[in-house]
Amino acid sequence: MSDELCFLSARELRAKIISREVSPVEIMRAVVARAERMQPELNCFITLCGDQAMTEAREAERAVMTGGPLGLLHGIPYTVKDIVNIRGVRTTFGSIPYKDNIPDHDAVAVARMRRAGAILLGKTTTPEFGTKCLTDSPLFGRTRNAWNGDRSSGGSSGGAAVAVASGIAPLAIATDGGGSTRIPAACNGVVGLKQSNGVIPHSQVQDAFGNQTYVTPMTRTVADTALMMQAMSGEDDSDPWSIGIPPGNFVDGSAARGDLRGCRIGFCLAPSGRRVSADVAAAFRGALARFESLGAGIEEMSGEGFEIEPIWRAINHTAWRARFEKLAADHGGELSETFLKQLALAEKVSGVDYQQAMFDRTSLFRRVQALLQRFDVLAMPTITRTALPIDQDLFGTIEIDGKVLEGVRQNWFPWTMPFNMTGHPAVSLSCGFGVDGLPIGIQLVGKFRGDIELLRVSALFEASQDLLAQWPRFVA
């Protein structure tokens, strides 16, 4: 019975806790045991908090038995990427210099999960400061894909995606600065949402006004994503983009009701000049056919104007240099060569270059806004091929259907970075499997602050297929 609890969604666990069919203690005992059993193979945690989780589960059980008020996520396990602060819990940022760092406060998203009654299981792996699309670092090594241990989990929220995909915990807090939630979601076959700018406050970001990094939900089902959004969203004084956004009813508003008649979907397989593997292209075409069967209108859109990796890099690498130049000077021997290389790239970016990139970011926003006047949703593959090899180098080449290509970012995930820069909601959903048996993801992009409707469209798509019945053989 214990492992059966690990394969239930948060929504199902919530119903069983409320009806007293299952106790939070039983659930936590199951997930702690599973995490401890699978950690040596998957390496998706930096810190496990089993003892504290069991203590909180007993308190949650007492509240159920005494008829006390129960939060939205009462007794449900969740994990937090080790880049997000938790009061009293080691938060390393995946970096050796921070291996003993213990924050004295919670990030807003964590505080809200606590308030909703969720129970922390542990901190999941991240590359140093979440700065690349692969989850490895000198601190903990490599995190393996949930479906195939010889493949990468993606990144930078690889540990979060693997924990969800492998049935360790149904909910995870991740982050996304250029695809860091959606890339590992696609690699591991789970739901990864990057919400609209400001919908979930980001209380740790240093440049709150120019921010394009998000604290995000990672789950296995759209309904569970809606639960997390309900718990974590809402304005907070720490984030100027969150102020004035009215509370949304994510749980009811995103339910898989009705159909998609009248919904206009603009699609594009790849930005101009980029390749997509044959199996990804086939899965994408199959997904579009499912949308048509739900009543949506499908129309191809141009891939021109989306070659934005240089713009994204100018902004991000400059921000990283400002944040980490002193750290690199003081602790260079403890940091990875890849991390130091990325900081060095920013030395070539002038102040004028940076400001031009910000101008270009505004132009991109207006381009996407114009597309979303014509369409209700945009659709494209999340990544151009399935998960890369476990030993992939960020500065190396990648192969797509036998073709060797230079540049991981622009050739593997050209479609994720644009929407960090524009602030539109974007979600990765599983839409099939490659010839190698690994998951393939489709990315859907919604109107600015149209997160609830995007999740409703996602829920209908999810219900139109039976992929949730499949779990990784590697971890079953």
Query: Which position among 153, 156, 166, 196 bears the catalytic label?
Result: 156
Whether 348 sits among the annotated catalytic residues: the reply is no
Handedness of CA 162, 165, 171, 174 (dihedral sign): positive
From 212, 174, 180, 218, select the one nearest 196 (Cα to Cα).
212
CB 69 within 8 A of CB 168: no
Q: How far is CA 471 from CA 7, 147, 159, 201, 348, in A?
A: 9, 8, 17, 32, 45
Single out the residue of 178, 177, 171, 175 nearest to residue 158, CA to CA: 175
d(CA 372, CA 192): 21
d(CA 231, CA 273): 41
Inter-axis angle of helices 24-42 and 50-65, to 10 degrees? 160
137 included as an active-site residue: no
Cβ proximity of 161 and 189 under 8 Å: no
What secondary structure letter does DSSP report for 334?
Answer: G
Catalytic residue among 9, 81, 196, 458: 81
In terms of DSSP H, where are the helices of 167-257?
A: 182-188, 222-232, 250-253
Task: Give the other-Cβ count within 10 Å of 142's Cβ.
Answer: 18
For the question of residue 428 being annotated catalytic, the response is no
Q: Which of 23, 180, 428, 458 is catalytic?
A: 180
In angstroms, rounded to a whole number, what is the distance separating the alpha carbons of residues 280 and 440? 6
What end-to-end distance do the CA atoms of the chain give, in Å?
14
| HEC per residue, 52-121 | HHHHHHHHHHHHHHCCCCCCCCCCCEEEEECCCCCCCCCCCCCCHHHCCCCCCCCCHHHHHHHHCCCEEE
Asked if residues 442 and 382 have their Cβ atoms less than 8 Å apart, the reply is: yes
**Rounded Cα gap, residues 106 and 104, in angstroms:** 7
Active site residues: 81, 156, 180
